[in-house]
Amino acid sequence: MSFSNDVRSEICSSVNDKDKRFACLYGMILFSRTLSAEHICFQSESSISAELFRSLFRAVIKVEPSIEQHTRKNGTSLHTCEVRGSTAEAVYQKYRLAENKRVINSEIIATNSLGVFTAGVFLACGSVNDPSKEYHLEFACPEEGLAQQLETLLHDIGVTARTMVRRGQNIVYIKGSESIEDTLTFIGAPQCTLELMNMKIYKDIRNKANRIANCDAANIDKVVKAAMKQIEDIKLIDRAVGLDNLSDELREVAQLRLDNIDMSLQEIGETLSEPISRSGVNHRFKKLAKMAEELRMGGDPHEK
């Protein structure tokens, strides 16, 4: 089941009294595919939305429309509820709908039902991406004017929304995770809000873990490269003058490095017959590096 359908299911369970049914159906009708005094057509790929539309229509208008389903070429199902004639006229009278223009009439929605109205809009034309992949919620509005009004409504509740036209459709979209959380809570899906918040926490922890792992990997790579350079210097010194001709302290760190390419400077310092600090080990390797460089330049390789 998709995250969008999880939201739809939670919304359906919250539409449980007369005022909420009235407001929710208003949102579904106003943002339906076809709306006129002669013909109302509600369509959705979601059987959840279609079934709720039929249930609310029966409760509010006292008529039960039938649901038709057909399968598209891409394999998705489309659920359609249609009413015509006197039933469509009754809807227009009930909701005082304008004849030639879709307008959100806030006067017929109680203040505490505004969220349920917006839930109806979501059921009619909304979708939200799986938060594990992307933070994106949108409404594909049937008219430009409705899109602008919906954007204003969302701004009024503190949600950052934008509009655009995509393939001829007027889209109101929300990108920020916090704005999506506020919207889901506003339309009656608090459990889905918690799911989104938990996913955001999980992704944040995973990203931090990845950054730490990448940092560790980079540090390991840096240590190995440094060790390889040290081994190259030591082998050059061994071929040219022999490790036996080094001082005891340099010979010991040189031999430890040859035997332990993955050992850190601190670990080498702790392993010496007379343990020293990491900086002390680094100082000895700098001496060996200087000797090796002098050999490469044809200079005197003896310790100074």
Q: Per residue in 17-45, pLDDT tens? A: 899 999 999 999 999 999 998 999 999 99
Verdict on whether the full-model pTM lies above 0.85: no
Answer yes or no: do 168 and 228 share one domain: no
Q: Can you name the residues that pair with 118 across neighbouring β-strands? A: none
Whether 50 has a pLDDT exceeding 80, the answer reads: yes
Write down how long the chain is. Answer: 304
What is the number of domains present in the chain?
Answer: 2
CA distances in angstroms from 154 to 9, 157, 162, 163, listed in the order given: 22, 5, 10, 11
Answer yes or no: do 232 and 86 share one domain: no
Angle (CA) 3 7 11, round 5°: 165
Q: What's the token pair of residue 192?
A: 């889905």
**Higher-scoring residue by pLDDT: 298, 153:** 153
Q: Is 205 part of any domain?
A: no
Residue 147 backbone dihedrals phi, psi, to 5 degrees: -60, -45
Answer yes or no: do 133 and 271 share one domain: no
Answer yes or no: do 222 and 146 share one domain: no
Q: In the listed set 196, 231, 266, which residue is the last one of a domain according to the structure? A: 196
Tell me which residue of 66, 35, 34, 74 sits closest to 50, measured CA to CA: 66
Q: Is 90 part of any domain?
A: yes
Whether 301 has a pLDDT exceeding 80, the answer reads: no
Q: For 64-113, what is each residue's pLDDT tens digit? A: 888 999 888 888 889 999 999 999 999 999 999 988 889 998 888 876 78
Answer yes or no: do 116 and 227 share one domain: no
Answer yes or no: do 130 and 259 share one domain: no
229 is in which domain, residue-wise? Answer: 212-296
Q: Is 49 part of any domain?
A: yes
Answer yes or no: do 41 and 131 share one domain: yes
Whole-number pLDDT of residue 226: 86
CA distances in angstroms from 148 to 64, 65, 104, 171, 179, listed in the order given: 32, 30, 11, 10, 18
* CA R_g for the chain: 35
Q: Is 41 part of any domain?
A: yes
Q: What's the token pair of residue 56?
A: 């609310």
DSSP classification of residue 187: T
Q: Can you name the residues that pair with 174 across neighbouring β-strands? A: 137
CATH value at residue 49: 3.10.28.10
Answer yes or no: do 192 and 217 share one domain: no
Q: For 154-204, what is each residue's pLDDT tens digit? A: 999 899 999 999 988 999 999 989 999 999 999 999 999 999 999 988 888
Residue 45: CB atoms within 10 A of its CB come to: 14
Answer yes or no: do 71 and 191 share one domain: yes
Confidence category of residue 302, pLDDT binned at 50, 70, 90: low
Mean of the per-residue pLDDT values of the chain = 89
